[in-house]
Amino acid sequence: MNEFSQVIDMEVLSEFEGFLDGFDALDSAEEIFRPTTPLAERPRRIAITHPRLGIYIGSSCGTRLWSLNAPDWCPPLAVTFSDEDDARDFVAAGTTENDPDEYGYISVPTSDEEYLEHFAGREELAFAGLEPLFGPVFEIEGLARTQ
């Protein structure tokens, strides 16, 4: 780390500590970002799964990305759909070889964070029993991102 980055890091740390001063009642910064609604009470949406590909996590440049073969730069979130019919239509529209019956459509709680309500993160997907399909996208150096 060079001198410049140390100065920047100290400025960022100082600003963050100032921000935390307003939350004296909280024991740690982690509690600020913890979702408030229990998983069982959150709205549910549909995640698409495939036994060989994993969980559908999104698209990039027209390519569909799946948890078991996506690059590790992908965010650890799965795109969700409003209902199974929408999810099946999405699968069928991919290529002429996609048979919607070869995919799974799993009801998952959605993220509790603002602007992420159409996504499910590691915690929400695990709650729905999808951990066996996580793959490298939901892990960093062998450790789960949310643990």
Q: How many Å apart are CA 127 and CA 72, to the nearest integer? A: 22
Encoded tokens for 79: 């795109």
Q: What is the amino acid identity at position 52?
A: R
Maximum Cα interatomic distance, the chain, rounded to a whole number of Å: 58
CA distance 120 to 58: 11
Residues 74-92 have pLDDT tens digits of 888 899 999 999 999 999 9
Alpha helices, H only, the chain: 3-21, 29-33, 84-94, 122-127
Taking only the tens place, the pLDDT of each residue in 21-51 is: 444 444 444 444 455 788 888 889 999 999 9
Q: Phi and psi of 66, rounded to 5°?
A: -125, 150
**Predicted TM-score (pTM) of this structure:** 0.69
Domain range list for the chain:
3-33, 39-144
